[in-house]
Structure 1
Amino acid sequence: MIRGLYSAASGLITSEAKQNVIMNNIANANTSGYKSENISIKSFDQVMISNRDKMQGNRNVINNIGYLSNGSEIDERNTNFSQGLVKETGIKTDFAIEGEGFFVVQRNEVGGTKNYYTRDGHFNIDGNGYLVTVNGDRVLGYNNNGQLEPVYVGSGNISCSKEGVISVDGARRSQIAVADFTKKDNKYDNLNKVSDNLYEGENPILATNYSVKQSSLEAANVDIIKEMSDMMAVMRNFESDTKVLKALDETLGKAVNEIGTVR
């Protein structure tokens, strides 16, 4: 019975974690370049239930009854990197990646700068004429000498080719850096989601299977109908585990307070 309490409690914990992921997906349904997440659940190690009621000759031997699960736990958190719908915005500083890869942005941190990666191409021009994200991180690109540096566009008329080449008033200035990472079983091993719709990763490589579309943004790949359906299922599971936990608690209360009481 005590084991049943732990099993029900672990179900509540995993349901709460899954609910948080679903709510985060719904909250970011309108965030450009956002990639939906999900968590996979696995059971704790199972234990073999046995007794010694089985007789062989004149002695008792082990009789295996079957396996009993000790509950569930979170296995891993996965990100769905499928392409989102690309929508035109008419804004010159909006960019979308069609295909694989990520924009590279540079953030000022204590002790220096650090590069991050994002699919959100909703950029602006800061007071110094550099292309930046909504959080002020500078977008990186390759200058005419092939060096990686922040993209400077000044105040001229910006145009961008499908290869990501930025021109200002017809003169080439930079090529937007688009990085990618190696995959295993169609998953990124060295890429982790952090805050502000950014990712951090190790050993980036040059993306090849992509095109950049100016005056467009990639929408989030969140399926609202699926998320709402999953939310209802999680709420039902949570409610069921709560009822089981309450029933076990009441049974234990009776066992402690009533069984064996002198009447």
Structure 2
Amino acid sequence: MIRSLYTSVSGMITQESKQGVITNNLANVNTIGFKSGNLSVKEFDRVLLYNYDKIQNGKNYRQDLGEISLGSKIDDVNTNFTQGVFEKTDKATDFSLEGNGFFTVERNDGIGVNRYYTRDGSFHVNSRGYLVNSSGDNVLGVNLETEEIEPIRIESNNFVLDGEGNLNVEGSPLYRFYTVDFENYSGLQKFGDNIYRGENERETNNISVRQYQVEKSNVNVIKEMVDMMTVIRSFETNQKLIQSIDETLGKAVNELGSVR
């Protein structure tokens, strides 16, 4: 009886966490470049039940009754990196990536300057002439003259992305975006502000950068709503089961144990 109570409670905790992931997905349905998350669940180690009720020749022998699960637990939150659809804009500072890979941005965390990665190409030029994202992080590019990786400085709104993927400012090619990819996306962690952090980046040219368009979120609203209804029903089922177990335990304590 107590095992059933723990199993139902663990199920409610898991469903509550699933609801949080789904809510976050729906909240970011209009966030440019957002990638939806999915909660992975696994069960606790199974327990073997047995007793010694079997008697042969006056001796008790062990009798295996089978395995029992003690409920579910949260394994990990996986990110779906499927590419979203593209939307045309009229802003020269809007860019998108077609294929696998990420833009690279640079952020000063107070203890040092670190690199992060994003699919959100909705940039703008700040007051110092640098191309930055919505959080003010510098977008990194490769200086075509020195081949150094550095923040892209445009200092002008008169720029265009040419057919070779180079940023031309006032008619002169100055930078190409420092786009990177990873061997294994499971090592990427969401950091907030629609950026990721990871290790072992490698520059990739197997990706197309497009100007005047952005990549929309890959959240499937219909799927998320269906998943939400499933989670709610599962939560309610576990809740009713706990109420039933509680009533049974109450009767066992107050009625079966009473002196008549």
Note whether the superposition's TM-score is higher than 0.5.
Answer: yes
Pair 1:81-2:71 in alignment: no
1:150 alignment partner in structure 2: 151
Cα displacement string for residues 148-170 of structure 1 (whole angstroms, at most 9, x for unaligned residues): 11101112411113553111121
1:29 alignment partner in structure 2: 29
Contact 1:5–1:248 (CA under 8 A) maintained in structure 2:
yes
- Matching residue's letter, 2:31: T
2:230 alignment partner in structure 1: 233
- Matching residue's letter, 2:173: R
1:245 CA drift (Å)? 0.9
Alignment of 1:62-77 (within 5 A): 62-77=62-77
2:171 alignment partner in structure 1: 170
Structure 1 residues without counterparts, runs of 5 or longer: none
Q: What is the SS of the residue equivalent to 2:192?
A: coil
1:259 alignment partner in structure 2: 256
1:213 alignment partner in structure 2: 210
**Inter-partner Cα distance in structure 1 for 2:75 and 2:164:** 39
TM-score with structure 1 setting the length: 0.95
Q: What is the SS of the residue equivalent to 1:111?
A: coil
Structure 1 residues 104 and 259, CA gap change in structure 2 (3 angstroms): same
Deviates more, 1:53-62 or 1:125-134: 53-62
Q: What is the SS of the residue equivalent to 1:250?
A: helix
Contact 1:156–1:169 (CA under 8 A) maintained in structure 2:
no
Alignment of 1:131-146 (within 5 A): 131-144=131-144, 145-146=146-147
Q: What is the SS of the residue equivalent to 1:67?
A: strand
TM-score with structure 2 setting the length: 0.96
- Alignment RMSD (CA, Å): 1.2
- Matching residue's letter, 1:176: F
Contact 1:152–1:173 (CA under 8 A) maintained in structure 2:
no
Structure 2 residues without counterparts, runs of 5 or longer: none
1:64 CA drift (Å)? 1.1
1:56 CA drift (Å)? 3.2
- Matching residue's letter, 1:194: F
1:208 CA drift (Å)? 3.0
2:92 alignment partner in structure 1: 92
1:42 alignment partner in structure 2: 42
Structure 1 residues 215 and 125, CA gap change in structure 2 (3 angstroms): same
Q: What is the SS of the residue equivalent to 1:189?
A: helix
Pair 1:246-2:243 in alignment: yes
1:53 CA drift (Å)? 2.3
Matched residues, number = 259
Q: What is the SS of the residue equivalent to 1:232?
A: helix
Q: Which runs of 4+ in 1 moved over 6 A?
A: none
